[in-house]
Amino acid sequence: MNASNNPTIPTKDYSFVRTQLLERQEIAFLDVREEGPHAEEHPLFAANFPLSRVEIDAYAKLPRRDVVIVTIDDGEGFAELAAQRLIALGYTDVSVFAGGIRGWEAAGGELFRDVNVPSKAFGELVESKRHTPSLSAEEVKQRIDANEDMVVLDVRRFDEYNTMSIPTGINVPGAELVLRVKEIAPNPNTQIIVNCAGRTRSILGTQSLINAGIPNPVHALRNGTIGWKLAGQVLDVGQTRRFAEVSSETAAEATARARSVADQAKVKRAQLNDVRQWQQQSERTSYFFDTRTPEEYEAGHLPGFRSAPGGQLVQETEMVVPVRGARIVLADPSGVRADMAASWLAQMAWDVYVVDGITASDLTERGAWQNPLPLLPKVDFIDVTSLVELQRSNTEVLVIDFSTHAFYVRGHIPGAWFALRSELAQAMKSIPKADHYVLTSTPPELAIFAAAEMQQHSGKPISVLQGGNTAWVKAGNALEKGETHLASPARDRYKRPYEGTNIDPAAMQAYLDWEFGLVAQLGKDGTHHFWVL
């Protein structure tokens, strides 16, 4: 399917998108393929926004209904389908990029591979400009073995750290560094090593401590856990060392340091009255994030703010902020996490504000963030008990799971088949014929939105499991693990070369070589507006 065949959806070209980026006008340039193909090649600011999740993600990630939206694919027809779904959700300025990925390339546009590329390219730019100090894996190993006065701080998410970590490493996610470091290394002579899996978060974490004027000697672990593995050294697994709470004196000092960095980066300030006004504003896209830990967020946060721990927000900005040119508003009562994250976002040319004057009484919302969803389509639901009874009868019932591949492998209803909604027509060629199909997913809404398409492709009765996989587990039923019935390839998530402990050394080295080349690619692209403090 091609957008040119449907006169109701306009097209936009390279000149239009590039002009929006150069003039810092709002644009949601959306690569609507699955993450795997997206990671193979895409324009720098084409945020991954898979067709299969459009209804799930739209209202949270595209809060302004009249924002300029341009969808792009590689000729599969996904861009037009996504545009149609966005229009049906109430978006009024939706276009398809003419010619897709090949059209971008033919017009002279630069194509980037991997994921979170704007942040990774920015990290490489920072190192090239500031010459961020680093030590090799061999040097750090020698110092650990010699029991030198040194601490290793792992700035990744806890789950990444828990999977594999540098020996002696303590988990301190990036935005927490300036707040926590003095309690961890009170002696100013203690050597601090900052690591992540590859390069970006360790570079920015190291430079954060330097920018904040921390007195200790600070170095990044060059190339992170990838470099450690390539050096033939052994990683720990299952570690749980984490930062502790800090004293009021330490917090006050960290607040002053972080505010100084934010001011140097020209971070803008906001008050709660500004926030309330922006939350009602329709002519500008604004995102509201709480940069503290998820535990702090759930204990109490500002109304309308989404949990986005600062280090990951900087690393994965386009995953939650696909509208380039939007306003980003950060909240943290201590100020430290918000100011440090904002200092980097400002250098990445985002219009970023930190909310001042937040008190405990302002944190009136509790619990996890709730994803805003459109009105759910009407479907025929089936409860867990009825599904079990059907499976025990002679009825040919088949369960189709529309979760991500990662969720499916982790555990699914026994006998269920995995299918990508975006590739359902192809998946049906592998899915066995049945008299009755029951759809499930995590979250359950994915299956609800897929039901109409499944009905069209199968021509059979379709039910959706009430509550999805979560309800199945809550009812005490067992799960099956592994890649048992794949009707679609695992295309919905790109396997990062730094994930897990059994990665091909050649793939790890190729990843590092790619990162080293990002600064040159930034120069060729020319749309980023990045600058370095």
Percentage with pLDDT > 70 across the chain: 97
Single-letter code of the amino acid located at 135: L
The CATH classification of domain 265-362, taken from the options 3.90.45.10, 2.40.50.140, 3.30.70.3190, 3.40.250.10: 3.40.250.10
Domains 121-241 and 381-474 share a fold: yes
Q: Residues of the chain whose pLDDT is less than 70? A: 1-7, 497-503
Dist CA 234 CA 260 (whole Å): 39
How much is the pLDDT for 292?
Answer: 97
The domain covering 381-474 belongs, at the CATH homologous superfamily level, to: Rhodanese-like domain (3.40.250.10)
Q: Cite the DSSP H helix spans in 151-212.
A: 158-163, 177-184, 200-211
Q: Strand 27-31 relative to strand 323-324: parallel, antiparallel, unpaired?
A: antiparallel
How much is the pLDDT for 2?
Answer: 41
Single-letter code of the amino acid located at 111: L
Lookup: tokens for 438: 């029951």
Just give the CATH number of 121-241. 3.40.250.10
Lookup: tokens for 370: 């709730």
Q: Which residues pair with 193 in a beta bridge?
A: 152, 219
Nearest Cα residue to 292 out of 427, 385, 174, 137: 174
Contact 290, 301 (CB under 8 A): yes
Q: Which residues pair with 365 in a beta bridge?
A: 301
Q: What are phi and psi of 256, to 5 degrees?
A: -65, -40
Q: Cite the DSSP H helix spans in 348-413.
A: 384-392, 405-410
Domain spans of the chain?
3-114, 121-241, 265-362, 381-474
What is the value of pTM for the model shown?
0.94
Domain 3-114 has CATH 2.60.40.10: no
Dist CA 189 CA 191 (whole Å): 6
Nearest Cα residue to 3 out of 82, 58, 56: 82
pLDDT, one tens digit per residue, over 47-73 is 999 999 999 999 999 999 999 999 999
Please state at what angle helix 54-61 crosses helix 78-88, rounded to 10 degrees: 60
How much is the pLDDT for 495?
Answer: 79
Please report which helix (H) or strand (E) contains residue 192, including its range. strand 191-195
List the 351-355 sheet strands across, edge first: 268-270, 351-355, 327-331, 286-290, 306-307
Q: What are phi and psi of 45, to 5 degrees?
A: -105, 25
Kindly report the length of the chain: 533
Dist CA 209 CA 163 (whole Å): 25
Nearest Cα residue to 324 out of 348, 305, 307: 348
Dist CA 133 CA 130 (whole Å): 9
Query: Based on the number of CB atoms within 10 Å of its own CB, is 375 exposed (0-12), middle (13-18) or buried (19 or more)?
Result: exposed
How much is the pLDDT for 352?
Answer: 98
DSSP state of 312: H
Lookup: tokens for 122: 């920015």
- Residues 6 or more apart whose CB falls under 8 angstroms from that of 234 comprise 167
